Amino acid sequence: MARPNEDVEALLQEYADLIAITGGDAFKARAYEKAARAIGGHPGDVSRLDVAGLKEIPNVGTSIAEKVVEYVRTGRVEAVEESRARIPAGVRQLIAIPTLGPKKALTLYEDLHISSVDELADAIRAERLRGLKGFGEKTEQNILHGIDLMRQAGGRILLSTAAEAAEEIVAGLSRIPGCEQCAHAGSLRRMRDSIGDLDILVAADRPAPFMEALTELPSTAEVIAHGQKKTSVRTVKGVQVDLRVVRRDSWGAALQYFTGSKAHNIRTRTIAVRQGLKLSEYGLFGARGGRRVASRSEEEVYARLGLPWIPPALREDRGEIEAAQRGELPEVVTEADIRGDLHTHTDLTDGLAPLEEMVAAAARRGYAYYAVTDHAPNLYMQRMTDEKILAQREQLRALDGERRMRLLHGTELNIGPDGEVDWPDAFLAGFDLCVASVHSHFGLDRRAMTRRLVRACENPHVNIIGHPTTRLIGRRPGIDVDLDEVFAACARTGTALEVNAQPDRLDLGDEDILRARSHGAKFAINTDAHSIPHLAYLRYGVGTAQRGWLTPEDVVNTWPLRRLRGFLRKHPGG
DNA sequence: GCCGTTTTCGGCCCGACTGTTTTCAGTCG
């Protein structure tokens, strides 16, 4: 089984949804949700555990442990199958629509026999929802808007989903004899925030074994096209994968070509033409004689065009060609530059792992420092208190310095509608750093929202604006705010903007980062980890930062601790 | 369904907001 923890998490979440839709015990549904999250966030491989081992995971009891074992052994769970038989899959799709939950979904199914998003959209247009209990005009509009949002995502998948699928496929194909090189290309290699399909590239003499292998992978659900040079499949998770096999001596040109972007490639091909050359996926050729002048590596291809190698994340024709020609390409930040994570949670609030386990996992990543920033009291459901956070601080101080990693005690404050935060100044002064984020009142008008965020920046204790736009990719647009004013305020006050690495956030996104950087703002690339596996999401944040042209100088958590502490004091020039 | 120095039953993160109601259900964080 490929990604057992994620598979099990998805299955239990589905069961929780089905229980909720069928009007089952809400607490039972929540129990499955909690178990799903716990298993998704469990660092070990759950497919290797027996019932007793599984029960040691918090929120997993006998019943769920037995279902997990049943799933690992047989690939299915009888109880889930029974629920699936009662509720069509399309009904479950309905609750993915923002503002539409399980209760409304069941009403739509029972009263109007609606069992897909398309049917729902049609029914609203045909005014079939009129008179349905609990459905008014505004509800119809909200649902239609939610459906629009979903469709805008256009079947694109999250960066993390794409990366995990690609790595699995690359690993599988790399094992085949005759594989000289294998890698992913396309928008995944450029680390876009969502991915349409996967491009996998192999260098080998004989394409056939690789084409065959792709169609036979356990993750392959459907073969879309199966040819000599290209094979396309759809995975069980609905991701389209295009595989191309090239000869080894074309590897560099092919990788460059299939990495894109299209706009970047148009520029490189134009440069080739001006030099009397022709660039294709097979190589860089003399236009007349067709003699191959470069193709083995990307470096060689770029060099022959008079350019340094350009990091994939920059290849969007957003000025990287010109910068490269001037010799002014940014030395973009890499994962190795990051010295610590400045936004993380523990099980004191909604994280899964206790403090000492999160700290140990962070230390294993080789960080020089690490900040714990659990939620503040105004996120009421987390039930934070002064006593709890102070007790955590003591516990954290006791762990400080183990394995040479320094610990910072922080919190994630809630920015209220007026820009105020949870605690008074005197209490905030006790933290090493404060992240402040918008978690409510998403609908303020632009002026109020802008004033709100600027006020947060002006708070002398607020060091980082967490997930600044609060967008959720494919689910919720960012808040309506004058970002330029916020970015200017960040630069003026010494408040960093977060590049939140959670794959469904990636917030700020690349274009906003570029704008913020032009204001002179600083950044912090943070995982917002709620479990140990989340610490590895850092790479998606780094990729996003690279797309925003950030260098280590721009990113405060690449700095040595001493310099970071100076920044956290927010004194001008500090 | 999970959990327990309030334990084997009876709770379960709590409150705000929205839209539909006419006193509250549903959804969200």
Least confident of A73-87, A288-302, A497-511: A288-302
Report CA(A84)–C1'(B1) in Å, whole number: 19
pLDDT greater than 80 at residue A461: yes
- Tallying the residues shown for chain A, one arrives at 574
> For strand B, is any atom closer than 7 Å to the CB of A136?
yes
Once rounded to an integer, what is the mean pLDDT over residues A483-497?
97
Distance of alpha carbon A40 from alpha carbon A7, whole angstroms: 8
Domain ranges of chain A: 4-152, 157-246, 251-325, 335-568
* pLDDT confidence of residue A37: 92
Q: Which residues pair with A226 in a beta bridge?
A: A231
Comparing every residue's Cα with the C1' atom of nucleotide B1, the nearest one is A28
Place of tokens 């991701």: A239
Query: Is there a contact between A359 and A342 (Cβ–Cβ < 8 Å)?
Result: no
Comparing every residue's Cα with the C1' atom of nucleotide B14, the nearest one is A381
> For strand B, is any atom closer than 7 Å to the CB of A58?
yes
* pLDDT confidence of residue A371: 98
Report CA(A103)–C1'(B25) in Å, whole number: 9
Could you report the per-residue pLDDT of A18-48, keeping only the tens digit for each? 999 988 888 999 999 999 999 998 988 999 9
pLDDT greater than 90 at residue A156: no
The pLDDT-based confidence of A239 (bands split at 50, 70, 90) is: confident
The pLDDT-based confidence of A573 (bands split at 50, 70, 90) is: very low
> For strand B, is any atom closer than 7 Å to the CB of A439?
yes
Q: What string of DSSP letters covers A47-98?
A: GG--HHHHHTSTT--HHHHHHHHHHHHHS--HHHHHHHHHS-HHHHHHTTST
Q: Confirm or reject CATH 3.30.210.10 for domain A251-325, answering yes or no.
A: yes
The pLDDT-based confidence of A572 (bands split at 50, 70, 90) is: low
Distance of alpha carbon A357 from alpha carbon A340, whole angstroms: 16
* pLDDT confidence of residue A43: 87
Distance of alpha carbon A498 from alpha carbon A231, whole angstroms: 40
Least confident of A186-200, A278-292, A348-362, A424-438: A278-292
Q: Residue A525, exposed/middle/buried by CB under 10 A (0-12, 13-18, 19+)?
A: buried
* pLDDT confidence of residue A154: 66
Distance of alpha carbon A159 from alpha carbon A247, whole angstroms: 28
Could you report the per-residue pLDDT of A76-119, keeping only the tens digit for each? 999 999 999 999 988 998 998 888 889 999 999 999 999 999 99
* pLDDT confidence of residue A45: 92
Which CATH number is correct for A4-152, 3.40.50.300, 1.10.150.110, 1.10.3720.10, 3.10.580.10? Answer: 1.10.150.110
3-state secondary structure of A218: coil
Looking at every residue in chain A, the average pLDDT score rounds to 92
A107: which nucleotide lies closest, measuring CA to C1'? B26
For A335-568, which CATH class?
alpha beta
Could you report the per-residue pLDDT of A308-355, keeping only the tens digit for each? 999 999 999 999 999 999 999 999 999 999 999 999 999 999 999 999
In 10 A of CB A434, how many CB atoms? 27
* pLDDT confidence of residue A234: 85
Report CA(A134)–C1'(B22) in Å, whole number: 14
> For strand B, is any atom closer than 7 Å to the CB of A61?
yes
> For strand B, is any atom closer than 7 Å to the CB of A100?
yes
> For strand B, is any atom closer than 7 Å to the CB of A386?
no
What's the CATH superfamily of A157-246?
A: Beta Polymerase, domain 2 (3.30.460.10)
Q: What is the dihedral of CA A295, A163, A534, A21, to 10 degrees?
A: 170
Report CA(A527)–C1'(B24) in Å, whole number: 39
A63: which nucleotide lies closest, measuring CA to C1'? B1
Once rounded to an integer, what is the mean pLDDT over residues A524-550?
97
* pLDDT confidence of residue A24: 84
* pLDDT confidence of residue A574: 41
For chain A, the farthest-separated pair of C-alpha atoms sits apart, in whole angstroms, at 78
> For strand B, is any atom closer than 7 Å to the CB of A77?
no
